[in-house]
Amino acid sequence: MSGDGFHVHGPHDHAVEHGAQSGDSLASRIAVMTAILSTAGAIFSYQGGHTQNEAMMFKNEAVLKKTEASNQWNFYQAKSSKQNLAELGLALAPPAKKEFYEAEITRYRKEKAEILVLAEKHEAEAKKFNDLSDEAMHPHHRLAQATTLIQIAISLAAITVLTRRIWLYWTSITAAVAGVAVWVLAWVH
């Protein structure tokens, strides 16, 4: 607008003004649909990120438990080596030292049994967390597909407004319904 009250409308201004005055119901419906789809897409995306983070936390815990199990197995191996040396010592020792080596062999067997229980416990926990990670990751793939379908629906809706092709509007609705269906499938397994 100029300082003396003279105003020049551009072609875009005219089209927007005309659409607002004519009560374009298609554009209104698509605007509402796009807002709803954007909200659904944001929710699907959030849920997908959450499931992925949860899966990574479980996988990290599985790795930690596997490392603890590996440490226990190494400790078990060291005790086995010491037991073998004590058995060799028993075989080569004079009679006065045999009682010492027998006590050592008994001690190493007892310690190995305790270590074995702990190592197997850590192995079982690692498996449990790996399974939880796999379970948490299952819906993630479906949620990513649902989000993609919602984004396609939004894009088709925008193209519908520009081209005024009703078949694009129905294609957009079909993509949105497919996105919601895939979202439902993410949680049904």
Q: Which of 180, 98, 185, 101 is nearest to 147 (CA)?
A: 180
Whether residue 19 lies inside any domain: the answer is no
pLDDT of 120-155, one tens digit each? 999 999 999 999 999 888 898 899 999 999 999 999
For the chain, give the percent of residues with pLDDT over 70.
87
Q: Which residue range forms the structural domain that includes residue 61?
A: 26-187
Q: Residue 13 domain-assigned?
A: no
Residue 113 within a domain: yes
90 inside domain: yes
User: Residue 57 pLDDT more than 90?
Assistant: yes
User: What is the C-alpha to C-alpha distance for residues 176 and 189, in angstroms, rounded to an integer?
Assistant: 21
The pLDDT value given to residue 18: 57
Structure pTM?
0.67
pLDDT above 90 covers a percentage of the chain that reads 65
Specify if 67 maps to a domain.
yes
pLDDT band per the 50, 70, 90 thresholds, residue 87: very high
What is the predicted pLDDT for the residue at 12?
Answer: 44
Of 146, 131, 155, the closest CA to residue 177 belongs to: 146
Are 139 and 51 in contact, with CB atoms under 8 Å apart?
A: yes
Is residue 149 assigned to a domain? yes
Residue 31: band (very low, low, confident or very high) from pLDDT cuts 50, 70, 90:
confident
What is the average pLDDT score of the chain?
87
Domains held by the chain: number:
1
Residue 92 located in a structural domain: yes
The predicted structure's pLDDT at residue 122? 95
4: in domain: no
Please report the pLDDT score of residue 79 as a whole number: 93
Q: How far is CA 150 from CA 157, 177, 185, in A?
A: 11, 9, 15
Residue 3: pLDDT over 80: no
